[in-house]
Amino acid sequence: MSTDTNQDIQKTALVTGANKGIGYEIAAGLGALGWRVGVGARDEQRREEAVTRLREAGVDAFGVPLDVTDDASVAAAARLLEERGGLDALVNNAGITGGMAQTPSTADLDVVRDAVETNVIGVIRVTNAMLPLLRRSSAPRIVNMSSSVGSLARQTDPDADSGPVAVAYSPSKSFLNAVTVQYAKELANSPVLINAACPGFVATDLNGFRGHRTPEQGAATAIRLATLPDDGPTGGFFDDDGVVPW
């Protein structure tokens, strides 16, 4: 198949946690670019409401029942995508904080475990379920929604604002960054490009709407990384301004 022909074929993306916040806007943005978008969401009502809103906005959206912490749910999502004709881009956006103020010395281990289960293991679980589909795409892309609070360089820079002390959330994003690099190493000789994205400080449920950016602004980097050209970067960490230090 020639590349020119492939450019005419509608591409399909899966966005996890797409029922609200940044994930919803990633789905809307990819839809506006002509992509068909699987709206990955664990709650049926929230999922269907998002799909309806996206369709009303002209997006070719469909619901994908998906709890990233559940093996059976993720396997079923992969089967659904396969039935729908495959997958070109996976945006691992679903995430939780477990609360942003978590001092290490008083850590609730269940909170730490839950953050890692969703933000890291969940990404590995979904990625591995979707990789067989992605490998059949002519231009497979994976975006892991990270955060600059997971940047060890920022956390150790006395002049940088790396957020509050958060022993579950921030290290879970550092872990996710490391996982992203490991996938990039394994997939180096394949067409799969995998990168981590930071959306900036965005007003969503995640932070009680304290962020100063809109979800649409927060979606921009992930959309760019999901639609990279074949010679685009892999194994990197980016925000709107370019490279984020690890």
Q: What are the structure tokens assigned to 197, written together?
A: 């994205």
Q: Is 22 in the site for ligand NAP (CB under 6 A)?
A: yes
Q: Is 145 in the site for ligand NAP (CB under 6 A)?
A: yes
Q: Between the CA atoms of 47, 121, 179 and 125, what dihedral angle is there, to the nearest 10 degrees?
A: -70
- From 32, 36, 42, 155, residue interacting with ligand NAP (rule: CB under 6 A): 42
Site string for ligand NAP, 72-101 (x = CB under 6 A): ---------------------xxxx-----
Closest approach, Cβ 166 to ligand NAP, in A, equals: 11
Q: What are the structure tokens assigned to 135, written together?
A: 């490998």
> What residues from 54 to 73 belong to the interface with ligand NAP (CB under 6 A)?
66-69
Using an 8 Å Cβ cutoff, are 198 and 144 in contact?
Answer: no
Residue among 212 and 231 whose Cβ is closer to ligand NAP: 212
Q: How many Å apart are CA 14 and CA 238, to the nearest integer?
A: 20
Q: How many Å apart are CA 21 and CA 25, to the nearest integer?
A: 7
Describe the crossing of helices 122-134 and 169-186 by its angle, rounded to 10 degrees.
30
Specify whether 24 is catalytic: no
Q: Is 36 in the site for ligand NAP (CB under 6 A)?
A: no
Q: What are the structure tokens assigned to 245, written together?
A: 């230090």
Catalog residues that contact ligand NAP under the rule CB under 6 A: 16-17, 19-23, 41-43, 46, 66-69, 93-96, 118, 122, 145, 147, 198-199, 201-202, 204-207, 211
